[in-house]
């Protein structure tokens, strides 16, 4: 019986199935070795959300102390920070959902 997943055998695979190490990822395109990892992208987005939050806090403080008079700019900074935080929250929720799903897989 041929191995439908190509997990058995070394060389050329069984039944004309490509060995697992020679296959393309699920997206169908080869990975770029210079591409940033998920961790790098996530950390970069966390830092960006943190920077936006700090900018929004500074804008609010400047408005309260009278150093700034443009309410629209303060609202824009606050909305950007809120949107970035909500995006990171959704990413976290998806990662937790995926982890919970993986925990339920029986081996």
Query: Region 93-105: what's the mean pLDDT?
Result: 94
Please work out, in degrees rounded to the nearest 5, the angle formed at the alpha carbon of residue 60 by the alpha carbons of 90 and 71. 100
pLDDT of residue 34: 85
Q: State how far the Cα of 38 lies from the Cα of 40, in Å rounded to an integer.
A: 5
Average pLDDT, the chain: 83
The pLDDT tens digits for 32-81 are 788 888 899 999 999 999 999 999 999 999 999 999 999 999 999 999 99
* Residue 93 or residue 15, greater confidence: 93
**Alpha carbon distance 45, 39 (integer Å):** 10
pLDDT reading at 5 higher than 70? no
pLDDT class of 8 with cuts at 50, 70, 90: low
Mean local confidence (pLDDT), 83-105: 95
- The token pair that represents 72 in the structure block: 């629209």
Q: What is the pLDDT of residue 21?
A: 58
């Amino acid at each position: 019986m041929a191995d439908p997943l190509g997990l058995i055998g070394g060389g050329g695979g069984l039944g004309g199935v490509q060995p697992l190490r020679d296959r393309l990822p699920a997206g169908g395109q080869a990975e770029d070795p210079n591409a940033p990892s998920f961790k790098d992208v996530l950390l970069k987005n966390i830092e960006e959300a943190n920077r936006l939050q700090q900018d929004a806090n500074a804008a609010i403080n400047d408005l309260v102390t009278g150093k700034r008079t443009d309410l629209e700019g303060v609202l824009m900074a606050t909305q950007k920070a809120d949107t970035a935080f909500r995006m990171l929250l959704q990413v976290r929720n998806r990662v937790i959902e995926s982890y919970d799903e993986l925990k339920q897989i029986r081996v």
